Amino acid sequence: MNFGKQFLASLLGSTLAMVIAGSLLIFIFVGALVGGLTSALEGVGEGSEMNLGFGGDIEEGSVLHLTFDAPLAERGMELPFTIQFGSMEPETQMGLNHFLADMERAAEDDQIEGILIQADMVSGYPSMMGEVRDALAEFKASGKWIVAWSEIYTQGAYWMSSVADEVYLHPEGGMDMRGMGMETTFYKRMLEDLGVEMTVVRGPDNTYKSAVEPYLRNDLSEANKEQLMALLEDFWARMGGDIAAARGMSIDELDGHINNLSVRLTADALALGFVDGLLYEDELHALLLEKGAAEDEDVPSHALLLGYSQYHNPDSFEDFITNLQADLEGDDGDEDEEEADGEEEANAVAIVFAVGGIESGEGDDATIGSDRIAGALREARLDPEIGAVVLRVNSPGGSALASDVIWRETVLLKEAGKPLVASMSDLAASGGYYISCAADHILAQPNTITGSIGVFGVLPSAGKLLKERIGLDFDGVKLHDHADAASMHKPIQGKALEAVNESVTSIYDAFIGRVAEGRGMTVEAVDDIARGRVWTGQDAMENGLVDGMGNLQDAVEMAADMAGMKNFDLVEYPEPIDPFEQFIAEFTGVAQMSTIAEAAGVPADAVEAMMEVEAFVNLQAKDRVQARLPFHIRVY
């Protein structure tokens, strides 16, 4: 038996054993979870950076402590943490919708004296990070103070922290200010070495649709370099402009410091005006007390810090235990409701959250399943109490077919007479734009990544891998000439490839037709700005793909105004997936292979790259044609 067969047999056996063992362990684990979770969370209560909320009143003079060490999510859950399978530890999350509302509340809250930002690293897309920074600026405009202090600042953390009235750094800390750049991973040589061929088709003139480049090239095309540089320039106009304005510099001065790597020591950061002082933690607390913060009774001479999660929901831990017990007892918590007599009046705005890659099927809270999101739009359309809808989109796109399924529901919603406003977050590109284009009004952030109006198909052939590496041979019979055209062991070619090309062209034509109809443009005008090119929100507004700039709250207010509603409720769709059910799914799933790979020493970014290739190889047949963003972007 050769190595390939031994490896596959071993992998299959190990995977099967993991699934069986995981299923058995559930019964043991669930019994111990409720009793053991309290002790597992000891030390993350009051005063901790990872404050999950254990009840209690907010004391006067509290300082809201923002660490941004939790990932930013588009939509937060009331339970602000999940249990991670790999570490069996709680992991917090921060929902943007909750954060924006909480900052408004904190600005008016007499118990909150000010805010301390202690962010070592904030990772995310510039758009969502910009919304967070804008909310902090609004808080400061209320007259309350913000102080920032950290042991080390990454660029994203410093951008966020620069909103503060005063910015401080640990005397032996550091600041990473190397400027902005982007990098793409290319898989062509790896796939060739493995014996996998990728046949790629693109829509006509989709020059900028560079999602396929990693499978065809070893470097960036000139068209791709052009659009990526345009994105970076717009990103830096916002980030660099904010930092320069906050620190009293010109953008040229800031760029000069970065290009010269002038900030090498903490003394450099102070001398060049990036920070207002170098403070140890005890000196920081003395400063906060001087500003009026209350003293922490448990930690003398320290200011009373209130974790964000505890401020958002002081009873989150108790809520988790209550919900968990209800799940285990099979109680869905629903009570019989009496139906109101007579015709109901529309008094609510529905926010439909569409977050993640777009695919056919149900999806989940991190994936846009066409069934789930189309169903949410349909439910909002048929509910007489819903007067208007905001479609909140944060998506790099995905399946062209699934995008069209969702798009159809947006059209039906408008035909029903209910205003629809699309609110673009970090991403509303390709399929993300497809599902937005029919809206009555589209709002974006200046650094939203949108456009990418184009389609492509990826058709893998693993013949060399299967035959030469693993030792499999194939033979068969066929009644018709192209019956084996979709075989995984040989590349598609001839008339079969012509048919795929024709299908991709048809889907692209439909895409730009949908956009032209929704935006009141000609097909030719859309095609001129399409061809797979990505645009920032600001550029998209100039070329007619977006109507204006605004955040989620702006979109809600606009939708309500279009529906003529002054006092209205907010309803969120679709219903979030139960966190306990999600945990069980992760606990038993073979998706934990990524955790195993990382434990074996494979770098996380390499695992992510391999998972990307695997995702394309295993696409459903109906999702083979993709309307997807050509890259991933993170600002650190």
Residue type, 26: I
What is the sign of the dihedral through the CA atoms of 81, 134, 160 and 314? Answer: negative
Per 3-state DSSP, the chain is made up of helix, strand and coil in percentages (nearest 5) of 45, 20, 35
Helices (H) and strands (E) in the chain, counts: 23, 25
Judge contact between 441 and 547, C-beta under 8 A: yes
DSSP 295: B
Residue numbers annotated as active site: 209, 430
584, with CB counted inside 10 A (0-12, 13-18, 19+), is middle
Q: How far apart are CA 349 and CA 572, in angstroms?
A: 9
Query: Which of 264, 409, 319 lies closest to 77, judged by CA?
Result: 319
Residue 461 phi/psi, 5-degree rounding, is: -130, 120
Q: Collect all residues with Cβ–Cβ distance below 8 Å to 81 and sequence separation of at least 6.
A: 52, 90, 91, 92, 93, 309, 316
Q: Under 8 Å CB-to-CB from 28, ≥6 apart: which residues?
A: none
Secondary structure of residue 200 in the 3-state scheme: strand
What's the rounded Cα separation, in Å, for the pair 141 and 115? 13
Token couple for 109: 């809250």
Cα–Cα distance, 518 to 499 (Å, whole number): 29
In SS3 terms, 474-507 reads as CCCCCCCCCCCCCCCCCCCCHHHHHHHHHHHHHH
C-alpha to C-alpha distance for 147 and 133, rounded to whole angstroms = 14
- Count of CB atoms within 10 A of residue 546's CB? 29
CA 415 to chain CA mean position, Å: 30
Helix residue ranges, H only, 429-488: 431-434, 463-464
Query: What element of type H or E holds 128?
Result: helix 126-141
What amino acid is encoded at 305 in this protein?
A: L
Separation CA 346–CA 376 (nearest Å): 17
Other CB atoms within 10 Å distance of the CB of residue 634: 10
Do 124 and 95 form a contact (C-beta atoms < 8 A)? no
Omega before residue 574 within 30° of 0, cis: yes
Structure tokens at 58: 């907010």
Hey, is 415 helix, strand or coil?
Answer: helix
